[in-house]
Amino acid sequence: MVARGVNEASGYTPAGRARVAVAGDGTLAAIIEPARAVVLELPGGAPFAEIGVDPDAEASEVAWVGAPPRLVVLSRHAAHSTVHLVDPYGPRTIAEIRLEAPMRLYTSVGAHALAVGAVGAAVLTATETHLAPYQFPSRGVPVTAGAAGANFMVALAGSIEEWDPQARIPRRRLKLPRPAVITALGGSDRVVWMVTQSDPTRVEVIPLVNRGQPKSHELPEPIAHVTGHPRSDLVACVGAESGKVYVVDLDGRTRMRLLALDPIDRADAIALVHGRMIGVLAAQAGKRVGIVPLDGRDLDLETQVTARPVLTARRTDEGTDEALDAKRSTLGHDEDAPAHELRPSPPPPVRAATPLPEPLPPLPDPTPPPLPPSPPVPSAPRLMPSPDSMWTGRGTAAPLAAPPEPAPVPPPDRFSPWKERIAEVQARTEGLPWLDAKAVWRDDLVTWGRAMLGTVAERPAPRATQLDALAARFELAPELVPALALLYAAHLLGERGAAPADVARVLGRRWDEALGTGRLAARGVARYAKSRVALAAPLQRVLDELPPVTGTLVGTPGEVALLGPCVVVDAGTPLAALAERYLVRVGGAILAAHGEADPGELMVEARARGAVPMLRIAAAEILELGTDPAVLVIDDEAAAAQLDVPKL
């Protein structure tokens, strides 16, 4: 692989048919041609690096991972594949691995990329210094895949699965109502979108958070290519017949848009940009790469859609009026309309939507309906008492006829709607691993721990998704999870730890882990003192569902995109405010350190919570920097340069 810098500052024009990949934070883009990949900075669009690909490979694919963005380049051969992790700012190759099967690079999210071969799938996890492949245990080979939120969305035969790339387990399964070959797939935290082979003109939507979204969006022509972003509800599509670019709002807040991409008249490839700007990047052979920003007004409910095309370094003083006249005639503008305004496309024809999984209906009113009124009783002739009886109050009139007894009406079961609702929920969620209705995982650990501590019992450890998630965050092998279970069970039982012999026994005689020379000690997961092995306090607080003590948690814990330590130059802004500012770049959450927090404890607690630690350091402070993600804040530009880490 050859990597070299590019000093052109006048935009980039692909020589042939190209593909486009944009980094998750929207700061870089790669234009992939058969023999090279050119890296552009965004939103300006100026090229600054060129990366050569293997000329002997059958095909090459790229994907962006991490923050700052790194490029994963996969070259597929007849019997194997090679994967390079490239720093585009050098450019330089960080790591190279070989996969013993021909594979395709489908998608990426955070620091992970998904490669799929004929016999299975692998998750490629990147750090600042290496690239590691992990086999994903799936029930079948994916047909296609995309990214949604912090996870992979994978199409299998008859279903869609959500895969957690960090824990490497399926999170949920969505069954399709009918067999369909899915050709494109993606989503966000709120929706899943797909395009099927049988209906290529429609983008179908499965809501994960039901907000009344439309279940399908119809285009006026078949879709050749569709792209989205895992944190956006916008998708951009290329028409197969015209090459036009359409933007669809999956939330249904605005109508479908048709973008003007002069001088691009037929897009070969597009990508959605989501970061410092929201827009669409498009490429066509022989035409300069174009960027169309979609500003905030495009997403307003009451404002008509406008798209302002901005092409990289294409402004000239000649031919402006002619270009505007041609653009107006092509797009059907009024004479008085602004030059940048683009009319929204007419509403698509109404078609019967493909049946998709329906959301659960609202709960019925449990109040029983009122009983029907009793039938009217025919009145009997009224007999007047004699005057004597009226005077004395002792009537002698005949008694009134008794009304007939109404038929007994059984009272309705006021709980029947709830019973039907519960049965329906259980039927639809049966077998889903992410739902723990009983929430008894701690009870199972306590029962197992009583049998294991101080005895010679041999019982397999109970599974708990909380322990699996911790193991994934600390990059522990699955065979070390029983040690986490034992140490947490000891805490729940009031013990000050477990004996090294017990730890070795549950790990299959792994005495290095039991005595503090293995992975558990190196990652700060376990603490060793006075012949006892105890779970580190930050992990214990996470499992106990207690708040952090070393800092303020900003954002939602999840997948971290940062690959290693980075530096931010700032003089006096509070760390919590800085964390809010850089949250999009980092991904997941940020644990902003308190003033007196121990850096080592902060690092462990941040990793345990799926967050990036942020701490302020002095210019003269000597800090042991590892390869774990961290944001270092320093007030001096020269001192920041001496740290020799990327600037965020």
Q: Which tens digit of pLDDT belongs to each residue from 409-454? A: 555 555 555 556 555 545 544 444 433 434 578 888 888 888 888 7
Mean pLDDT of 600-623: 83
Mean pLDDT of 620-624: 60
Q: What is the pLDDT of residue 424?
A: 56
Chosen domain end from 510, 543, 576: 543
Is the residue at 416 inside a domain?
A: no
Chosen domain end from 307, 331, 355: 331
Q: Radius of gyration of the chain from Cα atoms? A: 32
Residues 55 and 180 both lie in one domain: yes
Residues 462 and 531 both lie in one domain: yes
Q: Which residue has the higher pLDDT, 636 or 259?
A: 259
Residues 62 and 127 both lie in one domain: yes
Q: What is the pLDDT of residue 410?
A: 57
Residue reference for tokens 């949920």: 172
Spatial neighbors of 522 by CB under 8 A, at least 6 apart, are none
Is the residue at 421 inside a domain?
A: no
Q: What span, in angstroms and rounded, lies between the C-alpha atoms of 528 and 504?
A: 14
pLDDT surpasses 90 at 237: yes
Q: Could you tell me the two tokens for 399?
A: 């008694």
pLDDT surpasses 90 at 4: no
Q: What span, in angstroms and rounded, lies between the C-alpha atoms of 290 and 12?
A: 9
Q: What is the pLDDT of residue 443?
A: 87
Q: What angle do CA 348, 351, 352 make, to 5 degrees?
A: 150
Is the residue at 384 inside a domain?
A: no
Residues 487 and 460 both lie in one domain: yes
Residues 514 and 595 both lie in one domain: no
Residues 105 and 250 both lie in one domain: yes
Is the residue at 340 inside a domain?
A: no
Q: What is the pLDDT of residue 437?
A: 38
Give 276-295 pLDDT, tens digit per residue.
Answer: 789 999 999 999 998 888 86
Q: What span, in angstroms and rounded, lies between the C-alpha atoms of 137 and 165?
A: 11
Chosen domain end from 297, 331, 365: 331
What is the chain's length? 648
Q: What is the pLDDT of residue 534?
A: 94
Q: What is the span of the domain harbouring residue 514?
A: 441-543
Residues 492 and 557 both lie in one domain: no
Q: Which residue has the higher pLDDT, 408 or 212?
A: 212
- Residue 91: cis peptide before it, omega within 30 degrees of 0: yes
- Identify the bridge partners of residue 283 per DSSP, sorted by sequence position: 269
Question: Could you give the number of structural domains in the chain?
Answer: 3
